[in-house]
Amino acid sequence: MATTVVKSALQAIRERGLRTFLRELKDDGFTKCFFDGNLLQTKIHNIGATVVGVDKFGNKYYEKLGDTQAGRHRWVEYAKKDRYDASQVPPEWHGWLHFITDHTGDEASLALTKFALQNVRLSMCLKHLHILVLQLLMLKPKRYGVEHKENLSGKGNEFIYHSKGHALNPGQRDWTRYQSWQPTKAE
Amino acid sequence: MGLGLLASRTLKTSRVLSSQYSRFRPIVTKPGLQSPDASAAAPATQPEPTPPPPKKPVGGARVHFTNPDDALEVFVDGFPVKIPKGMTVLQACEIAGVDIPRFCYHGRLSIAGNCRMCLVEVEKSPKPVASCAMPALPGMKIKTDTPLAKKAREGVMEFLLMNHPLDCPICDQGGECDLQDQSMAFGSDRGRFTEMKRSVVDKNLGPLVKTVMTRCIQCTRCVRFATEVAGVQDLGMLGRGSGEEIGTYVEKLMTSELSGNVIDICPVGALTSKPFAFKARNWELKGTETIDVTDAVGSNIRIDSRGPEVMRILPRLNEDINEEWISDKTRFCYDGLKRQRLNDPMIRDANGRFKAVSWRDALAVVAEVALQVKPEEIVGIAGKLSDAESMMALKDLLNNMGSNNVWCEGTGTSPNADLRYKYLMNSSIAGLEKADVFLLVGTQPRVEAAMVNARIRKTVRASNAKVAYIGPPTEFNYDCQHLGTGPQTLIEIAEGRHSFCSAISNAKNPAIIVGAGLFERDDKDAIFAAVEAIAKNGNVIRPDWNGFNVLLLNAAQAAALDLGLVPESSNSIESAKFLYLMGADDVNLDKVPADAFVVYQGHHGDQSVYRANVILPSAAFSEKEGTYENTEGCSQQTLPAVPTVGDARDDWKIIRALSEVAGIRLPYDTLGAIRSRMRTVAPNLLNTDEIEPAAFGPSLSQDCSQKISSTPFKAAVENFYMTDSITRASKIMAQCSAMLLKK
Amino acid sequence: MAGFVQRVGQSLVRAHRPPQVSWKRCCSSDALMELETKPGEVGMVSGIPEQQLKRRVIIYSPARTASQQGSGKVGKWKINFLSTHKWENPLMGWTSTGDPYANVGEAGLEFDSEEAAKAFAEKYGWEYQVKKRHTPLLKPKSYADNFKWKGPPTAEE
């Protein structure tokens, strides 16, 4: 295991140069590993794992099947290496990450192949299959769905949720049930 | 410690303890009250049980015996009951206190007998009998709770629910639905229908009535209401069998002014209120019983409110005034109560813009100006929707300031309040049913007072009364002879030259209804003299029947004239320097001098606000407790249903506060005190729900020497839906006047 | 407080009493005993704040709901405490009120007769006004009216 790591590191240095390698290390969060044990463990676990997908925030989803301990075979490496939070995982990946389902968050995934395998008519063209799967995975309501936001509790009054009538809600609603007289222009 | 404090407080403050037994009153009890068991044990040894007391009629109904000797006796569930001849079995059971379930039967409509829910068992009858249609014969034994009757009800319920959609969660009638309640009470617990239910296309009946015709159970109540009570034959039943549909057949809107009543009549959610759709459930609403002020009828309504907001208005039973109906304007004006409301006192600054100020500042400014102005330049005008308390306060304030130029808008330039019969509906609205000839002078009851029109129509329908009309051409929903358009015809009838005079003299109870729009005319006295001449010739005013009626336009006119709001000079407005408008929006303010200081005290920013210098916000009719007298002289009181808006106050309280600030303090602080003050002026205003008939007749009226002009009568109300500040602010009324008025 | 009660008891014993009032009856604790109370007394000892005892109330019999024909709830008498001081809570828009009598009268307080309602209001010392009850008038109706002759036909214009 260690040899593969050293080998891939040396190869990267040879290909891209030392400076780029160090910058890549920094971007990938390896410099924070010293202070953050969780990140270090994740990085160690990443060795030998396959990247199943990347979501729109940049979180990487890994899977290591084989003789990995059950329950540790799927995990996420967050895009934000310093302030990561479990609520940064969007709903489409949440199911996969928590072993609820096998559907990953992106379209081109296991579900597609599974669906294709179950469907006897493999003669259907790929485009049809793709559309069908897209319809299956159209779990996000477009009309009223909002973008996923991480849990911003404690981050400040501008970020947390306030009810509609709260003074700190930027669009504070006036609940009075009547409308006052507004003089018309011809006064 | 607390008990002692309470005891000492009781002893100190209670005046009842000034008895002869020093400072303490022994708490005594009478021997009879001491132990109810002891008193009940004594007479328990009675030999035979007393028969159960007769049950009271359903809803406390009063029974009208046309001929007391002609009463029959029938037996309902074993109880004997005396009923007048000609009643149906259902009515007999109603008198006996048994409420029979029904869908198509309605006490004020003709009998249809098509729902079959009222089936009861009658002895010696081969099949169950439709109690709504079967006349009750003497000695009939009616049984309403036998297994046969119950099975019949379950069967009818099952059939009704077969094609009824499962709309309860989205239906507005849920919670107040006859179908729901009767299926719970009388239906079976399961259905056996497994086929497809039929559905019906929705009809467009206008901006007021929402239709979901799939829910219709074809009871035809709406058809009968439209035909009989409203007088428009818009609705009908099309098709047969399961394909029956209620509709207008052609694309027609329900333009009748009583169209909102079909919402109450429909037992299911087929016809519901469009403005109220999906707004509230009936169990979250708090009903407050008050009076409507959009016209002079004073229909009894119930305002349903949720928290601080009025959600809808429903009618309330009052046999003498509005029966169970209200006009569309009454029913749907409530959203005007939420728009264009004045909620803060405002003063117009030098730029002409209004600035919100506190009450202290506003009253100080008004008092300052009022005290600087000469007494004869102070003018007060009460509005259409003012209650009697506030008009009393206004008159008192202005009189104390030295001015007597206070009047109510709509009473004309020179109102005469000396004789009450000259401005009231003397035969009372219920008494119009006894009339057999009507002469309508310059009044269109359909738009001025829809409930009076409904009553006239009821009379015409029941007894074929003749109606003649003098005025601009209008549509009537009963047969009406159009005699003429102006005073010429009136003079002709007064002098006996017209052909209609014979109809009046041959009539047993002729009724003449004069419109209050005539108050605005200059020759008003001459016209009234002519009408009185007709009355004298036709023997209209007699001790037992007074057919001389004046149909007022506003809710405040009768009380204003009773309280004596009569101006000293008729054109005082032209020389006014201080004008106090209390809700007066329909006053012509052109003649007011440019330097006059105008105070507007009202609840809506309607028309007069734009000329005002100071605005004092007051409460609308749904927010205050006020006395209103309707056109027949019946004094009624509103109750507050919702809180006042913003910083608004009651009208009379504002005037009382103003009097205090101005130094001319009025002697009343509470509602009771101002009502005692009213009692000294017009005690009939305190006898609520009672009509005080006019005391003196035409024998006391003075002769008139004015000449009648020949200008024809014009319509007093152009737009039925927009007559006062509340209805003009209402969106629903705007929609109605755009879509439903006959062009 | 105990000393005060003792003094009250002693002065009661010493006070001049009419012969029919016995000490036993004065102190009887039978729960079923009905007492004669003067108007307002129950309110004074009930612990209700004095401000609430000065209310004006309306005694009325609610009319039948117009949208239904069932008269089951008709005939009861209620007390309307004229509680309209409600406002919208600025946070959630719910209805707030400071009036303890906001739903009393609307919710559970019902009386079988006008006298019972008046007695209740008198007991508590509220100034009341009674509204007249409007009842329907039953006139004979018959199915044959649909087929009756309604008069000669009107001349078409």
Q: Which residues of C sit within 8 Å Cβ distance of A?
A: 88-93
Measure the CA–CA gap between B644 and C87, rounded to whole angstroms: 10
Q: Are B307 and A181 an interchain contact pair (Cβ–Cβ within 8 Å)? A: no
Task: List the single best residue of C139, C147, C156 to mutate versus B (max B Cβ within 10 A).
Answer: C139
Neighboring chain C residues of A177 at a CB cutoff of 8 Å = 88
DSSP string, B220-255: -HHHHIIIIII-----EEES-GGG-EEE-SSS----
Q: Nearest by CB to C95, from B85, B91, B307: name it.
A: B307
Distance of residue C86 Cα from the nearest chain A Cα, in angstroms: 11
- CB of B29 within 8 Å of a chain C CB? The answer is yes
Neighboring chain A residues of B308 at a CB cutoff of 8 Å = 177
Over the stretch A54-98, which tens digit does the pLDDT of each residue have? 998 999 999 999 999 999 999 999 999 999 999 999 988 999 999
pLDDT mean across residues, chain B = 90
Q: Are C92 and A173 an interchain contact pair (Cβ–Cβ within 8 Å)? A: no
Interface of C with B in 46-105 (CB under 8 A): 47, 56, 58, 60, 62-72, 74-75, 80, 82, 84-88, 94-95
The model's confidence at residue B16, banded by pLDDT at 50, 70 and 90, is very low
- CB of B341 within 8 Å of a chain A CB? The answer is yes
Q: What is the residue type of B639?
A: L
Q: Are A178 and B339 an interchain contact pair (Cβ–Cβ within 8 Å)? A: yes
The model's confidence at residue B632, banded by pLDDT at 50, 70 and 90, is very high
Neighboring chain B residues of A175 at a CB cutoff of 8 Å = none
Residue B26 has pLDDT above 80, yes or no: no
Alpha carbon B626 to its chain's center: 14
pTM listed for this prediction: 0.84
Over the stretch B508-562, which tens digit does the pLDDT of each residue have? 999 999 999 999 888 888 899 999 999 988 888 888 999 999 999 999 999 999 9
Distance of residue C119 Cα from the nearest chain B Cα, in angstroms: 16
Which tokens sit at B493? 């009838």
Which tokens sit at A104? 């990953």
Q: In chain B, whose CA is at the least distance from the CA of C29? A: B34
B285: exposed, middle or buried (C-beta count within 10 Å: 0-12, 13-18, 19+)?
Answer: buried
Q: Are C91 and A165 an interchain contact pair (Cβ–Cβ within 8 Å)? A: yes
pLDDT, average across residues B684-689: 93
Over the stretch C44-89, which tens digit does the pLDDT of each residue have? 999 999 999 999 999 999 999 999 998 988 999 999 999 999 999 9
Neighbours of B, requiring at least 3 CB pairs below 8 Å, are A, C
Are B426 and B547 in contact by the 8 Å Cβ rule? The answer is yes
Query: What pLDDT does residue A123 have?
Result: 44
Global ipTM: 0.88
- CB of B327 within 8 Å of a chain C CB? The answer is no
Measure the CA–CA gap between B101 and B81, rounded to whole angstroms: 20
Over the stretch B574-623, which tens digit does the pLDDT of each residue have? 889 999 999 999 888 888 999 999 999 999 998 899 999 999 999 999 99
- Strand intervals (E) in chain A: 50-54, 60-63, 74-77
The model's confidence at residue C37, banded by pLDDT at 50, 70 and 90, is confident
Residue B51 has pLDDT above 80, yes or no: no
Query: What pLDDT does residue B31 have?
Result: 67
Q: Is the dihedral of CA B59, B62, B66, B70 positive or negative?
A: positive
Neighboring chain A residues of B311 at a CB cutoff of 8 Å = none
Q: In chain B, whose CA is at the least distance from the CA of C139? A: B64
Helix axes B651-662, B388-400, angle to 10 degrees: 20
Distance of residue B357 Cα from the nearest chain C Cα, in angstroms: 21
| % of chain B at pLDDT higher than 90 | 72
Measure the CA–CA gap between B147 and B153, rounded to whole angstroms: 10
Query: What pLDDT does residue C108 have?
Result: 80
